[in-house]
Structure 1
Amino acid sequence: MGLELERALQLQDEIIEAYKQKAAQLREFAVQMKEGPAAALKAGERRAAFLLELQKPLVARYGFEESAKGVRDAMFAYADIAENNLVMKRNNHMERLLAAGEDIDYYLTVVGQQVIRNLGTKRPAPRSAFPLIPREDFIKSVEGRLLPIPREDMLASDTTEELVAACKRGDSRKAEALLGQTGVVNLGFHGLGVGATTFAKALSPKLEVLELDISGNNIGLEGAQALAASMPKNLKVLKLNLSRNRLTLAGVKAIAESIPRSVEVLGLGFSGMKMGPEGGSVLAQAIPPEVKDLSLDLFGNKLGGDGVESISKALPKSLEKLHLVLQDNDLSRRGFFMFDRQIGDPDYQRYLPNLKPENFTKSGELDITEFKELADGTMIRQVDWQRAI
């Protein structure tokens, strides 16, 4: 169901007025979001629920179901007019009202709207320098613009909530029935905890594609070992985001050792594990011999030059695409450019002939400074390297 521009603007105006009437509550949420990551996440979830209840009766006046689905459908109805100047101005005004005058990180100020915009995701997306597991596909509109649509292969949000509940109570039979043969699941920030063990047991051993965001779930060594033990053996695609958990190096090692050698597309999110140089060695040994597409989010792991060198030397010659996140790893200049040395010079033993400059992207330490000379001779400072050339 679409919305004509005039009615769409009317709906936005009604939502804005509702936000103004609830300014005190929104201010309270905004203040709580400044009290640290844990408090911010809880406040964000409470605000998301608050906004959902506020929006349900409003969208119902415009022909949408008075439910979470109706609110989500209303957001989708704006797809064709999202770039209209009047629509964008109102969206910006809404977000300012949500911030309530507080200087809050943008990621948190719009968490209520992200619940809808993330196409069924019930929790805010985990922070990452790149989307390890995309939650949406894109199609061209009649005007040629790209519009987001829900991924058809990703487990639906309502089913995901049922799955989480089943895992938390240890109902493996129900979890297995809900999961079925699906291997694309977003469980990010669902408070799964020890339920990760039940989820692991529900995974189908016949999967060839597993894209699992299980970040921010307070998963420990036991959960990591359970996931490792249940890892399907014939995977071709494995994208696994375990960031913001408490796996320890032993948990990282368990996951790494379980990665099938048949994998051709590999994405691993291990940000914040502080695994040290030994973790680099563990990951190096886990890289499949025929992998073509490799993404590693290693933010905040204190790998040091030795850890990075271990990974760089393990890159196979089959590699065609490489994406790395290396911030907060105590890297020297030598360590930061280790990957460049290993892949960019045919005189080096590890020269990778299939990996082109446009398919090699990395982000690294902000204190590594490079300068670029412009055509007029001006030198400009490039603070953060994003691509090796």
Structure 2
Amino acid sequence: MEQDLLKRVEEIQAISAVPKILETVAAMTGLRFVCIAHVTDESWTACAVLDKLDFGLQPGGELDVTTTLCEEVRDCGRAVIIDSVHDSDQYREHHTPRIYGFQSYFSIPIFRSDGQYFGTLCGLDPEPARLSDSVTVSTMHLFAELVSKQLDADNKLVTARADLLTERETAELREQFIAVLGHDLRTPLGSILLGTEVLALKHPDPDTRPVVERIRRSAVRMASLVDDVVDFTRGRMGTGIVMTMRDAAVDLTLEQVVDEMRGLYPQRVIEAAIAPGLHLHCDPERIAQLLSNLLKNALVHGSAHTPVSVSASLAGREFVLSVMNEGDELPQSVIAHLFKPYWRAASRSGSEGLGLGLYIVDQIARAHGGTIEVSSNGGTTAFVFRMADCVAA
């Protein structure tokens, strides 16, 4: 019970407008004691106080609710306004004015938006005051309604923050779990790949060779999916995709990516024009991953009957890497979503991957201070990665 009362006091104290409301009401009415009280069947608790009478109440202070007129306001749900107790037939002999020694008094009910009674905006003074004129009454009701609306707004904000924190914690735990799972999957996948190489060397049986190769390709694809998930979770958890920037030759690295993709897609033609002697300041493994993801995207979603073209070269001090494929033209509405995680266009027939490849391409490009552009015209779709001022010293 005490904790609940303390919470109600804190709710009112948290409303920054409350002190100004109390000051305005006091100035408007001339009353020297104004407060906001939380009122229940058993208690009357001051939540905010303006006291120029030395009445002795502070926020959190309590009165016997049976000695107050706020009990009446709670029971009937209507305001009590007294200009002068001496002139009031209803309250002249009432015990409350005698106990607290006031002549003028008001108590305006405060309700929450769901209709639940919270308490009152109330005030008193030993001297009579003109409180019952329509302007004063409507203004005091307006202030009580303002407090009510602010109470509900603050409660909704607290609830929303709590929900957001819970959702964020759940998302972080989920992403941490995925990252750990991805890390732990790499070891058995490495064993599978090693096993396929041993089988191919020690048992070169033409009948089993296709099976071994199929296992190898599946393991490579699984490893790629795991890498994509781990990179994605790192990016979403704030640590970002890990980069190791250094001066390195990338032409042979890019050629190796093309050769690997030719092995994974033997039925497809990949035409490559990679300038020799490319020395860049970059993370060469990540540049290779970028090309690999772009090539997979082109091979999966492009026309199966035309070559995929790769080019890499320097234009001045700018490195330009492009991947082009023939196929259906992509509308701008699809291009606008291509680099979002887990997104696939309904019109795109390929089902390989998790929809993270192009998202990771974009993240690698950004981490290198570069850009990735997409164009799709006349049946040709091109992805172009540009990175300026990256030539190794």
When normalised by structure 1's length, the TM-score is: 0.22
Higher relative contact order (Cα pairs below 8 Å, separated by 6+ residues)? 2
